[in-house]
Structure 1
Amino acid sequence: MLTGEGGALGNENNERTMKTIGYAAQSAGDKLEPYHFERRELRPNDVAIEILYCGVCHSDLHQVRNDWGIGLFPMVPGHEIVGKVIGVGNEVTLYKEGDKVAVGCMVDSCQECDQCHGGEEQYCREGMTPTYAGNDRITEELTQGGYSKHVVVREEFVLSIPDNLDLSRAAPLLCAGITTYSPLRTWHVGPGSRVAVIGLGGLGHMAVKLAVGMGAEVTVIGRTDSKREDAMELGADAYLISSDETAMQVAEAGFDLIIDTVPVKHDLTPYLSLLDIDGSLVIVGQIGPLDETNTMPMIFGRRRVAGSLIGGIAETQELLNFCGRKNILPECEIIKMDEINEAFDRMERSDVRYRFVIDMSSLEG
Structure 2
Amino acid sequence: MSRGYSTPAVVCLCALAFICGRFLDIIPGLPEAHSGFRSTPINQGRLVQRRAIEQRGPAAQRVLGANATSGASATQVQFATFDEAARHTQQVLRSPPVEPAESGNSFYTAQPFQVLSWYPRMVLYPGFLDQARCEHIIKMAKARLRPSSLALRKSDTADKIRDVRTSQGTFISRYDDPAGVLAWVEEKAAQLTSTPVSHGEPFNVLRYEPGQHYDSHYDIFEPESYGPQPSQRMATVLFYLSDVEEGGETVFLLEGEKGLARKPTIDYKSCDVGYKYKPRRGDALLFYSLHHNGTVDGRALHGGCPVVKGEKWVATKWIRDKCFMC
- Higher percent of residues as helix: 2
Larger Rg: 2
- Higher percent of residues as strand: 1
Q: Which has the higher contact order (CA 8 A, sep 6+)?
A: 2
TM-score (norm 2): 0.26
